[in-house]
Structure 1
Amino acid sequence: SEVAVRVCSEAVQIFGGYGYSKEYDVERYYRDARVGTIYEGTSEAQRIVISRALAGKLL
Protein backbone atom coordinates (compact mmCIF):
# COMPACT_ATOMS: atom_id res chain seq x y z
CA SER A 1 0.00 0.00 0.00
CA GLU A 2 2.91 2.35 0.63
CA VAL A 3 4.17 1.86 -2.91
CA ALA A 4 0.71 2.47 -4.33
CA VAL A 5 0.47 5.76 -2.45
CA ARG A 6 3.91 6.84 -3.66
CA VAL A 7 3.15 5.97 -7.28
CA CYS A 8 -0.26 7.64 -7.22
CA SER A 9 1.14 10.70 -5.49
CA GLU A 10 3.75 11.03 -8.21
CA ALA A 11 1.06 10.63 -10.88
CA VAL A 12 -1.00 13.39 -9.25
CA GLN A 13 2.08 15.63 -9.32
CA ILE A 14 2.62 14.86 -13.00
CA PHE A 15 -1.01 15.68 -13.80
CA GLY A 16 -0.80 18.90 -11.79
CA GLY A 17 -4.18 20.40 -10.91
CA TYR A 18 -5.92 17.85 -13.10
CA GLY A 19 -4.65 15.14 -10.76
CA TYR A 20 -7.21 16.28 -8.18
CA SER A 21 -10.08 16.51 -10.66
CA LYS A 22 -12.68 13.73 -10.57
CA GLU A 23 -12.72 13.84 -14.37
CA TYR A 24 -9.42 11.95 -14.39
CA ASP A 25 -8.83 8.43 -13.09
CA VAL A 26 -5.67 9.52 -11.27
CA GLU A 27 -7.77 11.17 -8.56
CA ARG A 28 -9.63 7.93 -7.86
CA TYR A 29 -6.44 5.86 -7.85
CA TYR A 30 -4.83 8.22 -5.34
CA ARG A 31 -7.94 8.26 -3.15
CA ASP A 32 -8.22 4.45 -3.22
CA ALA A 33 -4.53 4.05 -2.39
CA ARG A 34 -4.84 6.38 0.60
CA VAL A 35 -7.93 4.57 1.88
CA GLY A 36 -6.12 1.26 1.49
CA THR A 37 -3.43 2.36 3.93
CA ILE A 38 -6.08 3.25 6.51
CA TYR A 39 -8.38 0.28 5.93
CA GLU A 40 -5.64 -2.35 5.93
CA GLY A 41 -4.03 -1.05 9.11
CA THR A 42 -0.64 0.46 9.67
CA SER A 43 2.29 -0.76 7.64
CA GLU A 44 3.98 -1.93 10.82
CA ALA A 45 0.94 -4.02 11.77
CA GLN A 46 0.89 -5.56 8.30
CA ARG A 47 4.58 -6.44 8.60
CA ILE A 48 3.89 -8.20 11.90
CA VAL A 49 1.00 -10.18 10.40
CA ILE A 50 3.08 -11.21 7.39
CA SER A 51 6.11 -12.17 9.48
CA ARG A 52 3.97 -14.30 11.79
CA ALA A 53 2.36 -16.03 8.82
CA LEU A 54 5.76 -16.75 7.29
CA ALA A 55 7.18 -17.93 10.60
CA GLY A 56 4.24 -20.32 10.99
CA LYS A 57 4.94 -21.85 7.59
CA LEU A 58 8.59 -22.41 8.44
CA LEU A 59 7.87 -24.26 11.67
Structure 2
Amino acid sequence: MPIGPGSLLLILIVALLVFGPKRLPEIGRAAGKSLKEFKEATKGLAEEEEPPKKEEDEPKN
Protein backbone atom coordinates (compact mmCIF):
# COMPACT_ATOMS: atom_id res chain seq x y z
CA MET A 1 0.00 0.00 0.00
CA PRO A 2 1.63 3.27 -1.09
CA ILE A 3 1.90 6.21 1.26
CA GLY A 4 -0.21 9.13 0.11
CA PRO A 5 0.67 12.80 0.47
CA GLY A 6 -1.64 13.21 3.49
CA SER A 7 -0.03 10.30 5.32
CA LEU A 8 3.45 11.59 4.54
CA LEU A 9 2.56 15.03 5.85
CA LEU A 10 1.19 13.51 9.07
CA ILE A 11 4.37 11.47 9.57
CA LEU A 12 6.54 14.56 9.07
CA ILE A 13 4.48 16.60 11.55
CA VAL A 14 4.69 13.87 14.19
CA ALA A 15 8.45 13.57 13.62
CA LEU A 16 8.82 17.33 13.99
CA LEU A 17 6.91 17.27 17.28
CA VAL A 18 8.80 14.28 18.67
CA PHE A 19 12.37 15.20 17.66
CA GLY A 20 12.21 18.97 17.27
CA PRO A 21 13.40 21.13 14.40
CA LYS A 22 17.10 21.00 15.34
CA ARG A 23 17.35 17.19 15.35
CA LEU A 24 15.40 16.47 12.14
CA PRO A 25 18.27 17.30 9.72
CA GLU A 26 20.62 15.06 11.70
CA ILE A 27 18.12 12.20 11.66
CA GLY A 28 17.47 12.66 7.93
CA ARG A 29 21.19 12.69 7.17
CA ALA A 30 21.75 9.51 9.20
CA ALA A 31 18.81 7.79 7.50
CA GLY A 32 20.15 8.78 4.07
CA LYS A 33 23.62 7.43 4.84
CA SER A 34 22.15 4.17 6.12
CA LEU A 35 20.01 3.77 3.01
CA LYS A 36 23.01 4.48 0.76
CA GLU A 37 25.15 1.88 2.56
CA PHE A 38 22.33 -0.66 2.35
CA LYS A 39 21.94 -0.10 -1.40
CA GLU A 40 25.69 -0.46 -1.95
CA ALA A 41 25.78 -3.68 0.07
CA THR A 42 22.85 -5.23 -1.79
CA LYS A 43 24.27 -4.09 -5.14
CA GLY A 44 27.47 -5.96 -4.36
CA LEU A 45 25.49 -9.12 -3.62
CA ALA A 46 23.58 -8.86 -6.89
CA GLU A 47 26.76 -8.37 -8.91
CA GLU A 48 28.63 -11.35 -7.47
CA GLU A 49 29.94 -13.61 -10.14
CA GLU A 50 27.83 -16.62 -10.81
CA PRO A 51 29.64 -19.89 -11.32
CA PRO A 52 30.36 -20.46 -15.00
CA LYS A 53 27.66 -22.42 -16.75
CA LYS A 54 28.73 -25.74 -18.11
CA GLU A 55 28.04 -25.79 -21.81
CA GLU A 56 26.71 -29.05 -23.09
CA ASP A 57 28.27 -30.55 -26.18
CA GLU A 58 26.20 -30.04 -29.27
CA PRO A 59 24.52 -33.24 -30.40
CA LYS A 60 26.16 -34.81 -33.42
CA ASN A 61 23.91 -35.69 -36.35
TM-score, structure 1 length as denominator?
A: 0.37
Bigger radius of gyration, 1 or 2? 2
Q: Which has the higher helix share?
A: 1
Q: Which has the higher contact order (CA 8 A, sep 6+)?
A: 1
TM-score, structure 2 length as denominator?
A: 0.36
